[in-house]
Amino acid sequence: MGSRLRRIATTLPPPAVDLSADRPQSVYLIGIGGCGMSGVARMLRARGHAVEGSDQTESPVTRALAAEGFRVGFDQQTPWIPEGCELVIASAAVRPDHPQILEAQRRGVPAIFYAEALGALMAPAMGVAVAGTHGKSTTTAMLGHTLAACGLDPSVIVGANAPSFGGTGFRVGSEQIPAGPLAGGPGVMVAEACEYNRSFLNLRPRVASISSVEADHLDVYGSIDQVVEAFHEFATLLPADSADPRAAGRLLIAHDAAHRREVTKGLACRVETIGLNPEADWHVAIDPRSAEVTLREHGRVRANFRSPMPGVHSALNASTAVVLALWLGADPADATGAIARFPGLDRRLQRLPDRAVAGGSVRVYDDYGHHPTEIDLTLRAIRAHERPEARGGRLVCVFQPHQHSRTRFLLDEFATAFERADMVIVPHIYFVRDSEAEKQRVSAADLVDRLLDRGVRAMHLYPFEAIVDHLRHTCREGDVVVVMGAGPVWQVAHAFAGEVEADLPEPKAATA
């Protein structure tokens, strides 16, 4: 089911399958209700392919697909794929022994993973891959929003729902760039490039960005050295630099915190850096009072705009999106105007309705952050933006660790990530891909103990209903609550803000 791409600096082999519009096929998607998979389904149909699929349960995504005419089934125990099916695409969460995968193998139907399909869709396009340990989703959404506002009509796939794309994680754009200096060339396709399990090595970008490279997914990589090597291998996917802007490979990498020397060593593509360091090719200067950003290219001012989201990291994400947009032919004035109007992204510093309390209200944020660096940056941004202490309030963080292996590998880093919080509430660790043996090696209580040792007020509390109840009884006027984590802990934020009922059983495993 998967193919491993060989590393090569200037030329890439063709993708394992042809998903261009020149050869329409009958394609079946297992896990079609996923954020990325539903986007792939729509892009395939836009290119003339016949598409249907299955998922474990009905959801708003599957209902939307059905309303658009897609046939979607929910009995995944039935080893059935349609007659005449020529290709099966499986979500990354689907196991090789899935009944429908086994049926495809029995019938000789090729089966590939989502990342391979994404690479095949990207191959004929002006592919843009947004990579990095942090900031991928936000930067991808910002770039897609900006390019659309500038009339470049991109296709976009991002791992979160975005108001810019009608509350979905996708946008289907033109097969050719309709405007700007690259007009008439292959249409732009922007995609989030996930490093987990090295899946980003299946992509076919011509342009890419790397915002950061840190130790994560150590259950897969084992060490930071292997993480750095994977990002280097990803960077080698870019074609060589060229005088033809439609063919030239270009990489924008963070000047600091991205192991850029190791990642970019020996690359044939054009490499430029971005960051707060004045030595960066693209220098980002931020006014902390106004959130105004000045973006300079080798000392020359290229853009001025107001960062649309709180925090230095958000300003850097926005700046990266602006630079990539300029590379793709966006007008600078249009690009900076668009980025300032970016409406945000679900679970990325997402402001929810205030919670009414005696004497006033409590601000509520929902955020996807689940790595120590993301947590630290988010808490810094919220404290600087909201200043709860000035109103006699506190910054209360509800954090659900994501995976036992990540929690164990990064326990010391997690222990230092919450210093900006006045109170931390930790539910059970979200059990996703780890083994039962790994589950026994670390618990939420271990993280709470580390936080208490560092003088941070912390408690282990579950289930979610108990956390919501605790917040309702203890939060006061002026407090700010931020709920963080990659698992279902978002339910706590929405229940406390009054958007959903607090009937919140705590899931024990991820779904496909």
Closest by CA position to 28, among listed 124, 109, 96, 107: 109
Closest by CA position to 36, among listed 146, 130, 168: 168
Mean pLDDT for 96-111 is 91
Mean pLDDT for 353-378 is 88
- pLDDT tens digits, 125-179: 999 999 998 888 899 999 999 999 999 999 999 878 788 888 887 888 998 999 9
What pLDDT, on the 0 to 100 scale, is given for residue 499?
Answer: 54
Whose structure tokens read 């499986």?
90
Q: What are phi and psi of 425, to 5 degrees?
A: -115, 125
- pLDDT tens digits, 273-314: 999 999 999 999 998 888 899 999 999 999 999 888 888 888
C-alpha 370/C-alpha 483 separation (Å) is 11
Asked whether residue 334 carries a pLDDT value surpassing 80, the answer given is yes
Q: What are phi and psi of 383, to 5 degrees?
A: -65, -40
Cα 299 to the chain's mean position, in Å?
31
Asked whether residue 14 carries a pLDDT value surpassing 70, the answer given is no
> Beta strands 360-367 and 350-357: pairing type?
antiparallel
C-alpha 437/C-alpha 404 separation (Å) is 10
Asked whether residue 505 carries a pLDDT value surpassing 50, the answer given is no
What pLDDT, on the 0 to 100 scale, is given for residue 257?
Answer: 85
Under 8 Å between Cβ of 358 and 174:
no
What pLDDT, on the 0 to 100 scale, is given for residue 366?
Answer: 92
First to last CA, the chain: 16
Q: Which segment, 80-89, 341-350, 497-506, is predicted with the most confidence on average? A: 80-89
Asked whether residue 28 carries a pLDDT value surpassing 80, the answer given is yes
What pLDDT, on the 0 to 100 scale, is given for residue 35?
Answer: 80
What pLDDT, on the 0 to 100 scale, is given for residue 81?
Answer: 86
Q: Where are the beta strands (DSSP E) in 259-390?
A: 270-275, 282-286, 292-297, 300-306, 350-357, 360-367
Asked whether residue 368 carries a pLDDT value surpassing 90, the answer given is no
Q: CA 431, 435, 437, 443: dihedral to nearest 10 degrees?
A: -20
Tell me which of 13 and 209 has the higher pLDDT: 209
What pLDDT, on the 0 to 100 scale, is given for residue 340?
Answer: 92
- pLDDT tens digits, 236-268: 999 999 989 888 999 999 999 889 999 999 999
- pLDDT tens digits, 423-479: 999 999 888 776 788 778 888 899 899 899 988 999 999 999 999 999 999 999 999
- pLDDT tens digits, 209-221: 999 898 777 777 8
What pLDDT, on the 0 to 100 scale, is given for residue 15?
Answer: 61
Burial 223-241 (b: 16+ CB within 10 A, else e): eeeebbbbbbbbbbbbbeb
Q: What are phi and psi of 192, to 5 degrees?
A: -70, 130
What pLDDT, on the 0 to 100 scale, is given for residue 372?
Answer: 87
